[in-house]
A and B are shown apart, each in its own frame.
Chain A
Amino acid sequence: MKRIHLPASRQELRELRAGEEVLLSGTIYTARDAAHKRLKELIEKGEPLPFDLQDAVIYYVGPTPARPGQVIGSAGPTTSSRMDPYVPLLCEHGMAGMIGKGRRSEEVRQAVMKHGAVYFVTVGGAGALLSKAITAAEPVAFEDLLSEAVVRLTVKDFPCFVGMDTEGNDIYDLADQCVSDR
């Protein structure tokens, strides 16, 4: 199985194909509905963002609270489509990838193709397993949003599939349903 270290180069991202199973390691940032709204507001006001979006990968997740001694609670993907309207703007400001679940809009496909970004999908309802691939979690911004705050995560062999590659191919539309996987 392919291993990707994040942040990855655009060249590396271009080599990924929709449907491939990959293991991600490195740094990713959590953000979901409310955090996206705030990021957009900051960009529109021309104010600095709480983290460097250049080549960043955003994970659509709102984890459960960590128990004492845990790095993070259950941490699986939320439905990505609610974040679709923000993708073109964030891609323009450097975002290189997203992790979530479910279908994306045509607008996202265009943005991904234009900016050479990749959409990864992972398994919804596997939050306990996925939390085991998260080795560090450090709050970055919007802590008042509770589970929706932005957190910098360090991941090690985080299991995903390439959901949409830089050419706009979509895992959910693959005609050859048996490709990839090695």
Chain B
Amino acid sequence: MREIEVSRIGKAIEDACGQMATVYSADIIRRIRSAAETETLPRAQSALNMLVKNAEIAEQESIPICQDTGMVIVFLKVGQDVHFTGGLLTDAIQEGVRRGYTENYLRASVVDDPLYDRKNTKDNTPAVIHTEITGGDQVEIELMAKGFGSENKSAVRMCTPAEGEEGIIRFVLDTIAAAGPNACPPFIVGVGIGGTFDSCARLSKKALMRPLDEDSSDPRYADLERRLLQKANELNIGPMGMHGRTTALKIQIEYEPTHIAGMPCAVNMCCHVCRHAKAVI
């Protein structure tokens, strides 16, 4: 058994919040740069060049890439030989988010009650926490700071097995088309197929956290990712929806076992500001 102070988890989260807000991960900015070079429509070029310039200023001057610094989602993998000490793990996670947002001058974008009060909690807590128990004595923390311009355009559909690949393709493309200019293209699109109504949605979020240079480990799904990307870029939505070839930077699919009667599919839309980070303790 290994003892881990919960404050270490909190600190890792605090640091990641500040880092994610101001620095694009290398795989994303690389794709934005290469898109800026290949777009031929002047407006599309202009928008992508602004994103490249924005990334430089954000990193150099520690200004958030986007003013919507997102809502935090934490995926924890806890080895079953870990014993947490020094307080409640959940409290430490929320404290990490609180400090990460207030001390780095990030925007507090969370309201306490979704329907009636809608009062800002002022420190961007609470984060959404998913926990999984695994083997070993380590804790893996993956987190994401998700903007809502794109989150609002995400969707779940209970496809039927008979709809097959064609049904998935149609649903993914329809969701991208409906997101259009509002969700800040170019997009990264997370697709979760299988599981249940709820688990496919979580899977689609996890898909967003996979490095863009890594395709699905199953060649059939990897092939589907490529075909979907091509079709998405034929929609002519383009950067900021002002037309062009760069509608999506990558489509990422994750899948899991499901029921004989179903084929749930979730599409988690994400803008180019796809902030995620990982730490292992």
Residues on A facing B (Cβ under 8 Å): 19, 21, 61-67, 70, 73-76, 78-79, 81, 101-103, 121, 123-132, 145-147, 159, 161, 171-172, 174, 177-178, 180-181
Inter-chain contact A74/B241, CB cutoff 8 Å: no
Interface size of B by CB at 8 A reads 47
> Given A63-B107, A64-B106, A102-B180, are A127 and B42 neighbors across the interface (CB < 8 Å)?
no
Question: Which residues of A are found within 8 Å of B184, using beta-carbon distances?
Answer: 101, 124-125
B53: interface (CB < 8 Å): yes
- Nearest Cβ in chain B — how far from A137, in angstroms? 13
Known: A126-B53, A131-B63. 10 other contacts (CB 8 A): A62-B68, A63-B67, A64-B64, A65-B106, A74-B67, A76-B68, A79-B149, A125-B147, A126-B50, A127-B54
Considering the chains assembled together, what is the distance between the CA atoms of A161 and B47 in angstroms?
10
Partner of A73, one of B57, B67, B181, B183: B67
Contact B107 A65 (CB under 8 A): yes
Check A64 against B242 for contact (C-beta < 8 Å).
no
Given contacts A81-B182, A125-B54, contact A62 B107 (CB under 8 A): yes
- Residues of B with C-beta under 8 A to A132: 57
Q: Pick the residue among A128, A172, A180 that contacts B54 (CB under 8 A).
A: A128
Given A73-B63, A127-B63, A127-B66, the answer on whether A147 and B108 have CB atoms closer than 8 Å is: yes
Decide yes or no whether B31 CB sits under 8 A from chain A: no
- Give A178 to B65 CA distance when docked, in angstroms: 28
What is the CA–CA distance of A77 and B108 in the complex, to the nearest angstrom? Answer: 16
* B107 and chain A: residue at smallest CB distance: A64
Does any Cβ of A come within 8 Å of B46's Cβ? yes
Q: How far is the CB of A74 from chain B (nearest CB, A)?
A: 4
Minimal Cβ-Cβ distance residue in A for B184? A124
The 10 closest A-B pairs by CB, nearest first: A102-B182, A124-B184, A129-B54, A128-B58, A74-B64, A128-B63, A181-B42, A126-B54, A74-B67, A127-B67
**Contact in complex: A146, B120 (CB < 8 Å):** yes
A interface, by DSSP: helix, strand, loop or mixed? Answer: loop
B105→A73 contact, CB < 8 A: yes
B63 touches A103 (CB 8 A): no
The distance from the CB of B167 to the nearest CB of chain A, in whole angstroms, is 27
Q: B66 near A103 (CB under 8 angstroms)?
A: no
Q: Is B240 an interface residue (CB 8 A)?
A: yes
B69 within 8 A of A: yes
A67: which of B58, B105, B182 is its contact (CB, 8 Å)? B105
Query: Is B231's CB within 8 Å of the partner chain A?
Result: no
Q: Determine if A64 and B243 form an interchain contact, defined as CB atoms under 8 angstroms apart.
A: no
Q: A102-B241, A127-B64 are in contact. Are A146 and B122 (CB under 8 A)?
A: yes
| Chain A residues in 8 Å Cβ range of B65 | 74, 125, 127-128
Could you pull out 10 A-B pairs where Cβ atoms are within 8 angstroms? A21-B46, A64-B106, A70-B63, A74-B67, A78-B68, A129-B57, A131-B63, A146-B108, A180-B43, A181-B46
Q: Is the CB of A121 within 8 A of B240?
A: yes
**Distance of A129 from chain B, by nearest CB (Å):** 4
In the complex, what's the smallest C-beta–C-beta distance from A121 to chain B, in angstroms?
Answer: 7
Are B105 and A66 in contact, with the CB atoms below 8 A? yes
Q: Is the CB of A147 within 8 A of B107?
A: yes
B243 adjacent to A101 (CB under 8 Å)? no
Are B50 and A159 within 8 A (Cβ)? yes
**Considering the chains assembled together, what is the distance between the CA atoms of A61 and B64 in angstroms?**
14
The winner among B147, B242, B272 for most chain A CB atoms within 10 A is B242
Would you give the shortest CB distance from B247 to chain A, in whole angstroms? Answer: 13
A81 to B236, CA, bound (A): 21
Establish whether residues A178 and B54, one from each chain, have CB atoms under 8 Å apart when the complex forms.
no
Chain B residues, Cβ within 8 Å of A123 = 47, 50-51, 54, 239-240
Chain A nearest CB, measured from B65 CB (Å) = 6
Contacting A at CB under 8 A, from B175-190, are 180-184
With a CB–CB cut-off of 8 A, which chain A residues contact B240? 101, 121, 123-124
